[in-house]
Amino acid sequence: MDFKNGKELLALCHENDMRISDIMLRREITESEVSQEDVVSRMQVSLDIMKKAAVSSIEEPRKSMGGLIGGEAKKAYESACRICGPVLSDAIAYAMSVLEVNATMGLIVAAPTAGSSGVIPGVLMALSKHEHISDDELIKGLFNASAVGYLFMRNASVAGAEGGCQAEVGAASAMAASAITEMLGGTPDMCLNSASFAISNILGMVCDPIAGLVEAPCQSRNAIGVSNAFTSAQLSMAGIKHHVPFDEMVDCMMEVGRSLPRELRETALGGCACTPTGCDLSCKIFG
Amino acid sequence: MEFISAFDVIGPNMIGPSSSHTAGAAAMALLARKLFGDKTPAKVSFTLYGSFAKTYKGHGTDKALLGGMLGFRPDDMRIRDSFRIAEEEGLDFRFIEDDETETPHSNTADILMIDEDGYTLSVRGVSVGGGKIKLTRFNNIDVDFTGEYSALIVRQNDRPGVAAHITSCLAEANVNIAFMNLFREDKGTTAYTVVESDEKIPADVLDKIRDQENIMEVKLVQV
Protein backbone atom coordinates (compact mmCIF):
# COMPACT_ATOMS: atom_id res chain seq x y z
CA MET A 1 0.00 0.00 0.00
CA ASP A 2 2.49 2.62 -1.14
CA PHE A 3 1.93 5.92 -2.90
CA LYS A 4 4.27 8.31 -4.67
CA ASN A 5 2.21 11.49 -4.77
CA GLY A 6 -0.94 13.11 -3.49
CA LYS A 7 -3.03 11.85 -6.37
CA GLU A 8 -2.16 8.22 -5.61
CA LEU A 9 -2.73 8.83 -1.91
CA LEU A 10 -6.24 10.17 -2.57
CA ALA A 11 -6.98 7.28 -4.92
CA LEU A 12 -6.05 4.82 -2.16
CA CYS A 13 -8.27 6.70 0.30
CA HIS A 14 -11.21 6.55 -2.10
CA GLU A 15 -10.74 2.89 -3.12
CA ASN A 16 -10.49 1.70 0.47
CA ASP A 17 -12.79 4.26 2.04
CA MET A 18 -10.03 5.20 4.44
CA ARG A 19 -8.56 8.35 5.89
CA ILE A 20 -5.06 9.58 5.04
CA SER A 21 -3.85 8.53 8.49
CA ASP A 22 -5.16 4.97 7.93
CA ILE A 23 -3.33 4.69 4.62
CA MET A 24 -0.07 6.00 6.10
CA LEU A 25 -0.34 3.62 9.06
CA ARG A 26 -0.99 0.67 6.69
CA ARG A 27 1.96 1.73 4.53
CA GLU A 28 4.23 1.85 7.59
CA ILE A 29 3.14 -1.63 8.72
CA THR A 30 3.50 -3.28 5.30
CA GLU A 31 6.64 -1.54 4.07
CA SER A 32 8.68 -1.69 7.28
CA GLU A 33 7.27 -5.06 8.40
CA VAL A 34 6.49 -3.93 11.93
CA SER A 35 3.27 -4.74 13.81
CA GLN A 36 0.54 -2.13 14.13
CA GLU A 37 0.95 -2.19 17.89
CA ASP A 38 4.66 -1.36 17.63
CA VAL A 39 4.16 1.38 15.05
CA VAL A 40 1.43 3.04 17.11
CA SER A 41 3.35 2.78 20.37
CA ARG A 42 6.38 4.31 18.69
CA MET A 43 4.23 7.23 17.56
CA GLN A 44 2.92 7.55 21.11
CA VAL A 45 6.53 8.09 22.23
CA SER A 46 6.88 10.89 19.66
CA LEU A 47 3.61 12.43 20.86
CA ASP A 48 4.73 12.29 24.48
CA ILE A 49 8.00 14.08 23.66
CA MET A 50 6.01 16.74 21.77
CA LYS A 51 3.60 17.23 24.68
CA LYS A 52 6.39 17.74 27.14
CA ALA A 53 8.35 20.12 24.90
CA ALA A 54 5.20 22.18 24.24
CA VAL A 55 4.90 23.16 27.91
CA SER A 56 8.33 22.82 29.49
CA SER A 57 9.64 26.23 28.43
CA ILE A 58 6.37 27.84 29.55
CA GLU A 59 6.79 26.26 32.97
CA GLU A 60 10.56 26.67 33.20
CA PRO A 61 12.14 29.06 30.68
CA ARG A 62 15.88 28.77 30.00
CA LYS A 63 18.28 30.87 27.96
CA SER A 64 19.24 29.34 24.61
CA MET A 65 22.78 28.27 23.68
CA GLY A 66 23.31 31.39 21.58
CA GLY A 67 21.37 33.59 23.98
CA LEU A 68 19.00 34.96 21.34
CA ILE A 69 15.87 33.38 22.81
CA GLY A 70 14.55 32.21 26.17
CA GLY A 71 11.36 33.20 28.00
CA GLU A 72 9.27 34.12 24.93
CA ALA A 73 6.95 31.12 25.20
CA LYS A 74 6.03 31.95 28.80
CA LYS A 75 5.40 35.59 27.85
CA ALA A 76 3.18 34.55 24.95
CA TYR A 77 1.27 32.07 27.10
CA GLU A 78 0.71 34.45 30.00
CA SER A 79 -0.02 37.53 27.91
CA ALA A 80 -3.20 39.41 28.79
CA CYS A 81 -3.72 39.96 25.08
CA ARG A 82 -5.67 37.03 23.60
CA ILE A 83 -6.66 38.72 20.36
CA CYS A 84 -5.98 35.50 18.41
CA GLY A 85 -8.56 33.62 20.47
CA PRO A 86 -7.89 30.75 22.87
CA VAL A 87 -6.90 28.02 20.40
CA LEU A 88 -4.43 30.00 18.32
CA SER A 89 -3.05 31.96 21.28
CA ASP A 90 -2.16 28.75 23.09
CA ALA A 91 -0.88 27.03 19.93
CA ILE A 92 1.51 29.93 19.34
CA ALA A 93 2.90 29.69 22.86
CA TYR A 94 3.27 25.90 22.64
CA ALA A 95 5.08 26.10 19.30
CA MET A 96 7.47 28.71 20.71
CA SER A 97 8.10 26.54 23.75
CA VAL A 98 9.27 23.65 21.57
CA LEU A 99 11.76 25.94 19.79
CA GLU A 100 13.10 27.06 23.17
CA VAL A 101 13.48 23.46 24.27
CA ASN A 102 15.35 22.75 21.05
CA ALA A 103 17.63 25.76 21.45
CA THR A 104 18.51 24.78 25.03
CA MET A 105 19.60 21.27 24.10
CA GLY A 106 16.36 19.68 25.24
CA LEU A 107 14.54 16.72 23.69
CA ILE A 108 12.31 17.38 20.67
CA VAL A 109 10.92 15.53 17.66
CA ALA A 110 12.13 16.90 14.34
CA ALA A 111 8.80 17.34 12.52
CA PRO A 112 9.91 17.41 9.81
CA THR A 113 13.05 19.30 10.99
CA ALA A 114 14.39 20.68 14.27
CA GLY A 115 13.95 24.25 13.00
CA SER A 116 10.25 23.64 12.34
CA SER A 117 9.67 21.32 15.28
CA GLY A 118 7.18 23.62 17.04
CA VAL A 119 4.39 23.78 14.47
CA ILE A 120 2.87 20.32 14.79
CA PRO A 121 3.10 20.05 18.61
CA GLY A 122 1.67 23.57 18.90
CA VAL A 123 -1.35 22.63 16.83
CA LEU A 124 -1.89 19.23 18.46
CA MET A 125 -1.64 20.44 22.04
CA ALA A 126 -4.02 23.33 21.43
CA LEU A 127 -6.57 20.96 19.86
CA SER A 128 -6.15 18.52 22.70
CA LYS A 129 -6.82 21.24 25.26
CA HIS A 130 -9.64 23.14 23.58
CA GLU A 131 -11.31 20.54 21.37
CA HIS A 132 -10.70 17.63 23.77
CA ILE A 133 -9.14 15.45 21.11
CA SER A 134 -7.85 12.15 22.55
CA ASP A 135 -4.30 10.78 22.26
CA ASP A 136 -5.53 8.12 19.82
CA GLU A 137 -6.85 10.82 17.52
CA LEU A 138 -3.71 12.93 17.94
CA ILE A 139 -1.63 9.92 16.91
CA LYS A 140 -3.80 9.57 13.81
CA GLY A 141 -3.14 13.26 13.23
CA LEU A 142 0.59 12.52 13.32
CA PHE A 143 0.21 9.74 10.75
CA ASN A 144 -1.80 12.08 8.54
CA ALA A 145 0.90 14.77 8.90
CA SER A 146 3.64 12.26 8.16
CA ALA A 147 1.93 11.25 4.89
CA VAL A 148 2.04 14.87 3.74
CA GLY A 149 5.60 15.35 5.03
CA TYR A 150 6.73 12.16 3.30
CA LEU A 151 5.50 13.55 -0.03
CA PHE A 152 7.49 16.75 0.54
CA MET A 153 10.59 14.69 1.38
CA ARG A 154 10.10 12.38 -1.57
CA ASN A 155 9.15 14.88 -4.25
CA ALA A 156 10.76 18.08 -3.00
CA SER A 157 12.82 18.73 0.14
CA VAL A 158 12.35 19.74 3.76
CA ALA A 159 15.89 21.10 4.17
CA GLY A 160 16.31 24.84 4.67
CA ALA A 161 19.65 24.58 2.89
CA GLU A 162 17.84 23.36 -0.23
CA GLY A 163 14.46 25.07 -0.13
CA GLY A 164 14.59 27.87 2.45
CA CYS A 165 12.20 28.18 5.37
CA GLN A 166 9.22 27.48 3.10
CA ALA A 167 10.57 23.91 2.95
CA GLU A 168 10.77 23.68 6.76
CA VAL A 169 8.04 25.76 8.39
CA GLY A 170 6.14 25.68 5.09
CA ALA A 171 6.09 21.89 4.98
CA ALA A 172 5.38 21.68 8.73
CA SER A 173 2.39 23.97 8.39
CA ALA A 174 1.07 22.01 5.39
CA MET A 175 1.43 18.80 7.41
CA ALA A 176 -0.30 20.40 10.39
CA ALA A 177 -3.10 21.87 8.25
CA SER A 178 -3.86 18.46 6.80
CA ALA A 179 -3.83 16.86 10.25
CA ILE A 180 -6.19 19.49 11.67
CA THR A 181 -8.55 19.01 8.74
CA GLU A 182 -8.73 15.26 9.29
CA MET A 183 -9.11 15.56 13.07
CA LEU A 184 -12.02 17.97 12.58
CA GLY A 185 -13.76 15.53 10.25
CA GLY A 186 -12.61 16.80 6.84
CA THR A 187 -12.26 14.43 3.88
CA PRO A 188 -8.88 13.33 2.45
CA ASP A 189 -9.37 15.76 -0.46
CA MET A 190 -9.98 18.57 2.00
CA CYS A 191 -6.78 17.60 3.84
CA LEU A 192 -4.55 17.96 0.80
CA ASN A 193 -6.47 21.06 -0.23
CA SER A 194 -5.59 22.64 3.12
CA ALA A 195 -1.95 21.61 2.58
CA SER A 196 -2.03 23.43 -0.78
CA PHE A 197 -3.24 26.57 0.97
CA ALA A 198 -0.59 26.29 3.66
CA ILE A 199 2.33 25.92 1.30
CA SER A 200 1.15 28.63 -1.07
CA ASN A 201 0.62 31.04 1.83
CA ILE A 202 4.30 31.09 2.72
CA LEU A 203 5.81 30.27 -0.62
CA GLY A 204 9.23 31.83 -0.93
CA MET A 205 9.94 32.26 2.76
CA VAL A 206 13.69 32.41 3.18
CA CYS A 207 15.94 30.67 5.73
CA ASP A 208 18.08 33.37 7.33
CA PRO A 209 18.97 32.39 10.91
CA ILE A 210 20.80 35.04 12.91
CA ALA A 211 24.34 33.82 13.68
CA GLY A 212 23.42 30.62 11.86
CA LEU A 213 21.62 29.36 14.95
CA VAL A 214 18.20 27.71 15.17
CA GLU A 215 16.86 30.50 17.39
CA ALA A 216 15.72 33.70 15.69
CA PRO A 217 13.75 34.28 13.54
CA CYS A 218 13.02 30.52 13.70
CA GLN A 219 11.01 30.71 16.91
CA SER A 220 8.49 33.29 15.74
CA ARG A 221 8.34 31.62 12.32
CA ASN A 222 7.03 28.52 14.08
CA ALA A 223 4.32 30.73 15.59
CA ILE A 224 3.37 31.92 12.10
CA GLY A 225 3.47 28.30 10.94
CA VAL A 226 0.79 27.45 13.50
CA SER A 227 -1.36 30.38 12.36
CA ASN A 228 -0.89 29.31 8.76
CA ALA A 229 -1.98 25.76 9.57
CA PHE A 230 -5.18 26.85 11.31
CA THR A 231 -6.02 29.40 8.65
CA SER A 232 -5.50 26.87 5.87
CA ALA A 233 -7.59 24.21 7.63
CA GLN A 234 -10.33 26.77 8.27
CA LEU A 235 -10.45 27.70 4.57
CA SER A 236 -10.59 24.09 3.50
CA MET A 237 -13.24 23.14 6.07
CA ALA A 238 -15.35 26.03 4.77
CA GLY A 239 -15.39 24.29 1.39
CA ILE A 240 -13.06 26.77 -0.30
CA LYS A 241 -10.90 25.16 -2.95
CA HIS A 242 -7.34 26.06 -3.74
CA HIS A 243 -6.84 26.36 -7.49
CA VAL A 244 -3.61 24.36 -7.58
CA PRO A 245 -3.59 20.66 -6.64
CA PHE A 246 -1.26 19.52 -3.86
CA ASP A 247 1.27 17.73 -6.08
CA GLU A 248 1.75 20.81 -8.21
CA MET A 249 2.25 22.91 -5.09
CA VAL A 250 4.97 20.51 -3.90
CA ASP A 251 6.80 20.85 -7.23
CA CYS A 252 6.25 24.58 -7.19
CA MET A 253 7.72 24.90 -3.69
CA MET A 254 10.85 23.08 -4.84
CA GLU A 255 11.13 25.27 -7.95
CA VAL A 256 10.89 28.40 -5.82
CA GLY A 257 13.46 26.92 -3.40
CA ARG A 258 15.89 26.29 -6.23
CA SER A 259 15.57 29.84 -7.42
CA LEU A 260 16.34 31.28 -4.00
CA PRO A 261 19.92 32.55 -3.88
CA ARG A 262 22.33 30.61 -1.69
CA GLU A 263 22.46 33.57 0.73
CA LEU A 264 18.84 32.88 1.67
CA ARG A 265 19.15 29.13 2.22
CA GLU A 266 20.42 28.60 5.76
CA THR A 267 23.88 30.07 5.13
CA ALA A 268 23.27 33.08 7.40
CA LEU A 269 24.59 35.32 4.62
CA GLY A 270 21.33 37.15 3.91
CA GLY A 271 17.96 38.22 5.27
CA CYS A 272 17.66 38.81 9.02
CA ALA A 273 21.13 37.33 9.55
CA CYS A 274 22.73 40.00 7.38
CA THR A 275 21.04 43.07 8.81
CA PRO A 276 23.47 45.30 10.76
CA THR A 277 21.90 44.09 14.00
CA GLY A 278 22.00 40.44 12.86
CA CYS A 279 25.73 40.79 12.12
CA ASP A 280 26.42 42.48 15.46
CA LEU A 281 24.65 39.70 17.31
CA SER A 282 26.64 37.09 15.41
CA CYS A 283 29.91 38.84 16.34
CA LYS A 284 28.89 38.96 20.00
CA ILE A 285 28.09 35.24 20.05
CA PHE A 286 31.10 33.93 18.17
CA GLY A 287 33.60 36.71 19.01
CA MET B 1 14.44 4.99 -3.98
CA GLU B 2 15.07 4.42 -0.29
CA PHE B 3 11.96 3.90 1.85
CA ILE B 4 10.93 7.02 3.75
CA SER B 5 9.23 5.96 6.98
CA ALA B 6 6.65 7.97 8.94
CA PHE B 7 9.40 8.19 11.57
CA ASP B 8 11.82 9.77 9.11
CA VAL B 9 9.21 12.53 8.77
CA ILE B 10 8.04 12.72 12.40
CA GLY B 11 11.55 12.23 13.71
CA PRO B 12 14.27 11.73 14.62
CA ASN B 13 13.65 12.24 18.32
CA MET B 14 16.68 14.27 19.23
CA ILE B 15 18.43 16.67 21.57
CA GLY B 16 18.43 20.07 19.85
CA PRO B 17 19.19 22.42 18.37
CA SER B 18 20.29 21.03 15.01
CA SER B 19 19.83 17.66 13.33
CA SER B 20 23.09 18.04 11.41
CA HIS B 21 25.22 19.82 14.02
CA THR B 22 23.90 18.17 17.20
CA ALA B 23 22.06 14.88 16.49
CA GLY B 24 24.48 13.97 13.67
CA ALA B 25 27.48 14.82 15.85
CA ALA B 26 26.26 12.54 18.65
CA ALA B 27 25.51 9.75 16.15
CA MET B 28 28.97 9.85 14.56
CA ALA B 29 30.77 9.77 17.90
CA LEU B 30 28.55 6.92 19.08
CA LEU B 31 29.43 4.94 15.96
CA ALA B 32 33.12 5.72 16.46
CA ARG B 33 32.82 4.42 20.03
CA LYS B 34 31.20 1.20 18.80
CA LEU B 35 34.08 0.68 16.40
CA PHE B 36 36.51 1.26 19.24
CA GLY B 37 34.98 -1.74 21.03
CA ASP B 38 31.91 -0.18 22.63
CA LYS B 39 33.89 1.32 25.49
CA THR B 40 34.92 4.81 26.51
CA PRO B 41 38.53 5.48 25.53
CA ALA B 42 41.06 6.94 27.96
CA LYS B 43 41.70 9.87 25.65
CA VAL B 44 39.81 11.37 22.75
CA SER B 45 40.40 14.33 20.49
CA PHE B 46 37.93 15.82 18.06
CA THR B 47 39.19 17.91 15.15
CA LEU B 48 36.38 20.02 13.73
CA TYR B 49 36.26 21.23 10.15
CA GLY B 50 34.08 23.53 8.05
CA SER B 51 30.80 24.59 9.59
CA PHE B 52 31.48 22.39 12.63
CA ALA B 53 34.65 24.42 13.36
CA LYS B 54 32.89 27.76 12.92
CA THR B 55 29.60 27.21 14.77
CA TYR B 56 30.08 24.26 17.11
CA LYS B 57 29.59 26.22 20.31
CA GLY B 58 26.20 27.65 19.32
CA HIS B 59 24.97 24.23 18.22
CA GLY B 60 26.34 22.21 21.13
CA THR B 61 28.29 20.11 18.63
CA ASP B 62 31.06 19.65 21.21
CA LYS B 63 28.63 18.41 23.89
CA ALA B 64 26.99 16.09 21.38
CA LEU B 65 30.30 14.60 20.16
CA LEU B 66 31.44 14.04 23.72
CA GLY B 67 28.02 12.57 24.62
CA GLY B 68 28.22 10.11 21.74
CA MET B 69 31.71 9.12 22.88
CA LEU B 70 30.26 8.37 26.34
CA GLY B 71 27.68 6.08 24.71
CA PHE B 72 24.71 8.48 24.67
CA ARG B 73 22.28 8.25 21.78
CA PRO B 74 21.17 11.46 19.98
CA ASP B 75 17.98 11.56 22.08
CA ASP B 76 19.71 11.15 25.45
CA MET B 77 19.14 14.11 27.81
CA ARG B 78 22.58 13.53 29.36
CA ILE B 79 24.14 15.14 26.27
CA ARG B 80 23.46 18.53 27.83
CA ASP B 81 25.79 17.61 30.73
CA SER B 82 28.34 15.57 28.80
CA PHE B 83 31.31 17.78 29.77
CA ARG B 84 30.64 17.25 33.47
CA ILE B 85 30.01 13.52 33.01
CA ALA B 86 33.19 13.07 30.96
CA GLU B 87 35.20 14.79 33.68
CA GLU B 88 33.65 12.59 36.35
CA GLU B 89 34.47 9.49 34.32
CA GLY B 90 38.06 10.67 33.87
CA LEU B 91 37.86 10.89 30.08
CA ASP B 92 40.66 13.10 28.77
CA PHE B 93 39.11 15.05 25.89
CA ARG B 94 39.94 17.97 23.70
CA PHE B 95 38.54 19.86 20.72
CA ILE B 96 40.66 21.26 17.91
CA GLU B 97 39.20 23.81 15.53
CA ASP B 98 40.57 23.59 12.01
CA ASP B 99 38.76 26.06 9.82
CA GLU B 100 41.52 26.13 7.19
CA THR B 101 41.72 22.55 5.91
CA GLU B 102 39.16 22.03 3.16
CA THR B 103 37.05 18.87 3.54
CA PRO B 104 34.64 17.58 0.89
CA HIS B 105 31.72 18.06 3.26
CA SER B 106 31.16 21.05 5.52
CA ASN B 107 30.11 19.17 8.66
CA THR B 108 33.12 16.98 9.27
CA ALA B 109 35.03 15.82 12.35
CA ASP B 110 38.04 13.59 12.87
CA ILE B 111 37.83 11.52 16.04
CA LEU B 112 41.00 10.07 17.54
CA MET B 113 40.52 7.55 20.36
CA ILE B 114 43.30 6.11 22.53
CA ASP B 115 43.12 3.32 25.10
CA GLU B 116 45.14 2.97 28.37
CA ASP B 117 47.38 0.42 26.67
CA GLY B 118 47.96 2.59 23.63
CA TYR B 119 45.45 1.04 21.22
CA THR B 120 44.50 3.83 18.80
CA LEU B 121 41.70 4.28 16.33
CA SER B 122 40.94 7.32 14.23
CA VAL B 123 37.82 7.85 12.15
CA ARG B 124 36.43 10.70 10.11
CA GLY B 125 32.71 11.37 10.52
CA VAL B 126 30.52 13.39 8.21
CA SER B 127 27.05 14.67 9.10
CA VAL B 128 25.08 14.52 5.87
CA GLY B 129 21.82 16.15 7.04
CA GLY B 130 18.67 15.25 8.95
CA GLY B 131 20.74 13.56 11.67
CA LYS B 132 22.15 11.01 9.23
CA ILE B 133 25.88 10.39 9.20
CA LYS B 134 28.60 8.34 7.62
CA LEU B 135 32.20 7.54 8.35
CA THR B 136 34.50 8.28 5.44
CA ARG B 137 37.84 7.37 6.97
CA PHE B 138 38.97 4.53 9.19
CA ASN B 139 42.59 4.97 10.30
CA ASN B 140 44.18 6.01 7.01
CA ILE B 141 41.75 4.23 4.74
CA ASP B 142 38.90 5.89 2.85
CA VAL B 143 35.67 4.05 3.63
CA ASP B 144 31.95 4.68 3.29
CA PHE B 145 30.06 3.38 6.25
CA THR B 146 26.72 4.54 7.72
CA GLY B 147 26.18 2.28 10.72
CA GLU B 148 22.56 1.80 9.61
CA TYR B 149 23.23 -1.89 9.02
CA SER B 150 24.98 -4.48 11.13
CA ALA B 151 28.55 -4.41 9.99
CA LEU B 152 31.69 -6.41 10.21
CA ILE B 153 35.00 -4.63 9.80
CA VAL B 154 38.03 -6.77 9.13
CA ARG B 155 41.65 -5.59 9.08
CA GLN B 156 43.69 -8.00 7.02
CA ASN B 157 46.86 -8.54 5.02
CA ASP B 158 46.21 -7.79 1.36
CA ARG B 159 46.64 -11.36 0.08
CA PRO B 160 44.64 -13.57 -2.30
CA GLY B 161 41.81 -15.60 -0.76
CA VAL B 162 41.11 -13.45 2.29
CA ALA B 163 37.88 -11.99 0.96
CA ALA B 164 36.76 -15.49 -0.08
CA HIS B 165 37.50 -16.74 3.45
CA ILE B 166 35.34 -13.97 4.95
CA THR B 167 32.39 -14.55 2.62
CA SER B 168 32.46 -18.32 3.12
CA CYS B 169 32.39 -17.88 6.93
CA LEU B 170 29.38 -15.58 6.51
CA ALA B 171 27.66 -17.98 4.11
CA GLU B 172 28.09 -20.83 6.61
CA ALA B 173 26.43 -18.70 9.28
CA ASN B 174 23.63 -17.90 6.84
CA VAL B 175 24.29 -14.15 6.87
CA ASN B 176 22.87 -12.28 3.92
CA ILE B 177 25.34 -9.63 2.73
CA ALA B 178 23.74 -6.29 1.82
CA PHE B 179 26.99 -4.50 0.91
CA MET B 180 30.61 -5.54 0.89
CA ASN B 181 33.54 -3.23 0.25
CA LEU B 182 37.27 -3.72 0.23
CA PHE B 183 39.65 -0.85 0.97
CA ARG B 184 43.44 -0.95 1.13
CA GLU B 185 46.36 1.24 2.13
CA ASP B 186 48.69 0.05 -0.64
CA LYS B 187 48.88 -3.07 -2.78
CA GLY B 188 50.14 -6.01 -0.74
CA THR B 189 49.97 -4.24 2.63
CA THR B 190 46.99 -3.74 4.94
CA ALA B 191 43.43 -3.93 3.68
CA TYR B 192 40.02 -3.55 5.27
CA THR B 193 36.84 -5.40 4.41
CA VAL B 194 33.54 -3.84 5.42
CA VAL B 195 30.52 -6.13 5.24
CA GLU B 196 27.04 -4.78 5.96
CA SER B 197 23.97 -6.91 6.53
CA ASP B 198 20.26 -6.23 7.08
CA GLU B 199 20.11 -8.66 9.97
CA LYS B 200 22.17 -9.17 13.11
CA ILE B 201 25.50 -10.88 12.44
CA PRO B 202 26.03 -13.75 14.94
CA ALA B 203 29.05 -13.07 17.17
CA ASP B 204 30.50 -16.57 16.74
CA VAL B 205 31.26 -15.79 13.09
CA LEU B 206 34.01 -13.53 14.39
CA ASP B 207 36.06 -16.41 15.79
CA LYS B 208 35.80 -18.32 12.52
CA ILE B 209 36.93 -15.31 10.52
CA ARG B 210 39.82 -14.66 12.92
CA ASP B 211 41.02 -18.23 12.38
CA GLN B 212 43.09 -17.38 9.30
CA GLU B 213 46.70 -16.23 9.24
CA ASN B 214 46.08 -13.05 7.24
CA ILE B 215 43.32 -11.71 9.49
CA MET B 216 44.62 -9.12 11.94
CA GLU B 217 41.50 -7.72 13.55
CA VAL B 218 37.74 -8.23 13.37
CA LYS B 219 35.15 -5.80 14.68
CA LEU B 220 31.40 -6.15 14.84
CA VAL B 221 28.90 -3.30 15.01
CA GLN B 222 25.26 -4.35 15.49
CA VAL B 223 22.29 -2.17 14.65
> Are B16 and A153 in contact (CB < 8 Å)?
no
Disruptive mutation site among B9, B57, B76 for chain A (greatest number of A CBs within 10 Å): B9
The pLDDT-based confidence of A42 (bands split at 50, 70, 90) is very high
Distance from C-alpha of B79 to C-alpha of B67, rounded to nearest angstrom: 5
List the single residue in B9, B58, B75 with the smallest CB-CB distance to A285. B58
B66/B32 same-domain check: yes
Indicate yes or no: CB of A105 within 8 angstroms of CB of B8: no
| Nearest chain A residue (CA) to B5 | A28
Number of domains into which chain B is organized = 2
**pLDDT at A86 (0 to 100):** 97
Q: Please say which residue of B92, B123, B145 terminates a domain.
A: B145
CA distance B213 to chain A (A): 41
Average pLDDT over residues A125-130: 98
Q: pLDDT of A203-231, one tens digit each?
A: 999 999 999 999 999 999 999 999 999 99
Sheet holding B120-129, edge to edge: B92-98, B43-49, B107-114, B120-129, B132-138, B141-145
CATH label, A6-286, candidates 1.20.120, 1.10.1740, 1.10.4100, 1.10.10: 1.10.4100
Q: Which of B91, B117, B145 is the last residue of a domain?
A: B145
Where does a domain end: B124, B145, B166?
B145
The CA–CA distances, whole Å, from A107 to A97, A232, A244, B127 equal: 12, 29, 37, 19
CB contact under 8 A, A107 and B58: no
Higher pLDDT, A246 or B220: A246
Sequence-ordered strand ranges (E) for B10-106: 13-15, 43-49, 92-98
Q: Is residue B123 a part of any domain in this protein?
A: yes
Shortest Cα–Cα distance, B205 to chain A (Å): 27
Q: Nearest by CB to B63, which of A28, A66, A105?
A: A105
Q: Do B199 and B216 share a domain, yes or no?
A: yes
B128 and B160 assigned to the same domain: no
The one-letter code for the residue type at A238 is: A
Quote the pLDDT of residue B11.
96
Confidence of residue B93 (pLDDT cuts 50, 70, 90): very high
Of B5, B8, B13, the CB nearest to A49: B13
Of A27, A103, A154, the CB nearest to B17: A103
Q: Tell me: do B204 and B132 sit in the same domain.
A: no
Whether residue B15 is contained in a domain is answered as yes
Do the chains contact at A31 and B13, CB–CB below 8 Å? no
Question: What was the pLDDT predicted at B144?
Answer: 85
- Selecting from A105, A120, A147 the residue whose C-beta is nearest the C-beta of B15 gives A105
- Facing residue for A31 by CB, picked from B3, B51, B130: B3
Of A84-88, A133-137, B47-51, B55-59, which gets the smallest average pLDDT?
Answer: B55-59
Residues B130 and B199 in one domain: no
- pLDDT of B1 > 80? The answer is no
Among the listed residues A270, A167, A173, A206, the one whose alpha carbon sits nearest the alpha carbon of residue B130: A167
Q: Band of the pLDDT at B81, cuts 50, 70, 90?
A: very high
pLDDT(B130) > 90: no
Mean pLDDT of chain A: 97
Q: Is the pLDDT of residue B57 over 90?
A: no
Chain segment B159-214, per-residue pLDDT in tens: 999 999 999 999 999 999 988 988 887 788 889 998 988 888 888 899 999 999 99
What does pLDDT average to over chain B? 93
Contacting residues of B for A110, CB less than 8 Å apart? 11-14, 19, 23, 130-131
Q: What is the CATH number of the domain that holds B217?
A: 3.30.70.260
Contact A140, A146 (CB under 8 A): no
Sign of CA pseudo-dihedral A182, A186, A188, A191: negative
β B92-98/B43-49 pair status: parallel
For residue B1, is it within any domain?
Answer: no
Contact between A112 and B10 using a beta-carbon 8 Å cutoff: yes
Res B189: pLDDT: 87
User: Which residue segment(s) compose the domain that B54 sits in?
Assistant: 6-145
B11-36: pLDDT as tens digits: 999 999 999 999 999 999 999 999 99
Confidence of residue B142 (pLDDT cuts 50, 70, 90): confident
Percent of chain B with pLDDT over 90: 70
The CATH number of the domain where B86 resides is what?
3.30.1330.90
Per-residue pLDDT for A39 more than 90? yes
| Residue ranges of chain B whose CB lies within 8 Å of a chain A CB | 1, 3-19, 22-23, 51, 54-55, 57-60, 63, 75, 77, 79-80, 129-131
Is the model's pLDDT at A70 over the cut of 90? Answer: yes
Whole-angstrom distance, CA of residue A31 vs CA of residue A21 = 15
Angstroms from A265 CA to nearest CA on chain B: 14
Asked if A39 lies within 8 A of B6 by C-beta distance, the reply is yes
Residue A286 pLDDT more than 90? no
ipTM: 0.97
**Three-class SS of A178-217:** HHHHHHCCCCHHHHHHHHHHHHHHCCCCCECCHHHCCCCC
Instruction: Give the single-character DSSP code of A5.
Output: S
pLDDT at A154: 97
Tell whether B187 and B133 lie within a shared domain: no
Residue A284: what pLDDT?
Answer: 94
DSSP bridge pairs for B110: B47, B124
Are B90 and B172 part of one and the same domain? no
The verdict on B18 and B109 lying in the same domain is yes
B75 and B52 within one domain: yes
Confidence of residue B2 (pLDDT cuts 50, 70, 90): confident
- Decide if pLDDT at B223 tops 80: no
Say whether both B103 and B47 belong to one domain. yes
Q: What is the mean pLDDT of residues B49-71?
A: 94
Q: Are residues B46 and B126 in the same domain?
A: yes
Taking CB atoms and an 8 Å limit, are B59 and A154 in contact across chains? no
pLDDT band at A1 (very low <50, low <70, confident <90, very high): confident
Q: Residue B203 has what pLDDT?
A: 85
Answer yes or no: do B135 and B48 share one domain.
Answer: yes
pLDDT digits (tens, 9 = 90+) for A150-199: 999 999 999 999 999 999 999 999 999 999 999 999 999 999 999 999 99
